[in-house]
């Protein structure tokens, strides 16, 4: 199951290309050409990742992503029109883990898929000696990739969990956007890439502020972000 990819795209030639290319890379690929069927199949629990186009018949990619995120945290890579920043931002805000602008090099898609694989399948013992991180009322368990505030579990996407992990492990220290992009998204930060900022915004909404109203994740202008750790709230 860890190498099974669902591609939801109505471009038949692209679907066949990805089946051949990803197949040669060791992945099993299923292709669905409409949004309604794609959403249903994505929620079957049979796939390790979903590659989702924005423009689809019957149900557009954003609505498909909304349906997926109602009950599943399966990683989703959105395919967007080149130069359409709005599509990228909306996709990330709805819970996409990453995006690729069309047309794209299949090698880049493989790189994104493998980056997500490494993030979601890594075992804590391999490079994370601490299995649990505590940040006041927030508790993060690396083994189960879950986080709770005051005992209430947070509904985080894979990239949001990894982002929270990175920030909390360096609580009180400023992490640059370049470092977070490299550590969490597995790629270098490009000049106009705002992905990490959108993920931070979404994460802030989910974890909320401290009880006194102060932000848990602070912006350090021109540098990056910091998890502001408090001993008591």
Give strand pairing partners of 224: 176, 220
Q: Is the pLDDT of residue 125 over 50?
A: no
Domain 4-121 has CATH 3.40.50.2300: yes
Encode pLDDT of 54-81 as tens digits: 999 999 999 999 999 999 989 999 998 8
**Number of DSSP helices (H) and strands (E) in the chain, helices first:** 9, 12
Q: Is 204 in contact with 216 (CB distance < 8 Å)?
A: yes
Question: pLDDT for 148-206, tens place per residue?
Answer: 998 899 999 989 999 999 999 999 999 999 999 999 998 899 888 889 999 999 999 99
Mean pLDDT for 120-130 is: 53
Does this model's pTM top 0.85? My answer is no
Selection from 210, 204, 151, 160 nearest residue 185 by Cα? 160
Q: How big is the chain, counted in residues?
A: 233
pLDDT, position 94? 93
Task: Provide DSSP, 146-203.
Answer: EEEETTEEP---HHHHHHHHHHHHTTTSEEEHHHHIIIIISSPPPTT--HHHHHHHHH
CA angle at residue 88 from 228 to 54, to 5 degrees? 140
E strand or H helix at 35, and its extent? helix 35-42
φ/ψ (deg, to 5) at 148: -135, 145
- Name the residue ranges covered by the structural domains of the chain: 4-121, 125-227
pLDDT at 1 over 60: no
Distances from the Cα of 106 to the Cα of 183, 195, 229, angstroms: 22, 20, 41
pLDDT-derived band at 127 (thresholds 50, 70, 90) equals: very low
Q: Which single residue is written with the structure tokens 């994370």?
A: 128
Distance CA 55, CA 31 (A): 15
Tokens of 219: 């912006």
Q: What is the CATH number of domain 125-227?
A: 1.10.10.10
CA distance 106 to 21: 7
Distance CA 216, CA 135 (A): 10
């Amino acid at each position: 199951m860890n190498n099974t990819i669902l591609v939801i795209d109505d471009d038949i030639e692209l679907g066949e290309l990805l089946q051949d290319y990803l197949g040669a890379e060791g992945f099993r690929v299923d292709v669905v050409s409409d949004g309604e069927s794609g959403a249903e199949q994505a929620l079957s629990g049979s796939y390790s990742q979903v590659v989702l186009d924005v423009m689809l018949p019957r149900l557009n990619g954003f609505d498909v992503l909304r349906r997926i995120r109602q009950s599943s945290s399966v990683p989703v890579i959105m395919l967007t029109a080149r130069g359409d920043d709005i599509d990228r931002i909306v996709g990330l805000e709805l819970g996409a883990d990453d995006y690729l602008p069309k047309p794209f090099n299949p090698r880049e898609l493989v790189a994104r898929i493998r980056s997500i694989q490494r993030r979601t399948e890594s075992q804590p013992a391999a490079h994370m000696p601490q299995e649990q991180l505590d940040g006041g009322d927030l508790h993060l368990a690396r083994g189960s990739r879950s986080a709770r505030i005051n005992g209430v579990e947070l509904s985080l996407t894979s990239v949001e969990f990894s982002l929270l992990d990175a920030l909390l492990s360096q609580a009180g220290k400023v992490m640059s956007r370049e470092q977070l992009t490299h550590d969490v998204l597995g790629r270098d930060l490009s000049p106009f890439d705002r992905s990490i900022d959108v993920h931070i915004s979404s994460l802030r909404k989910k974890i909320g502020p401290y009880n006194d109203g102060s932000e848990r994740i602070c912006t350090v202008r021109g540098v990056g972000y910091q998890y502001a750790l408090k001993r008591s709230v």
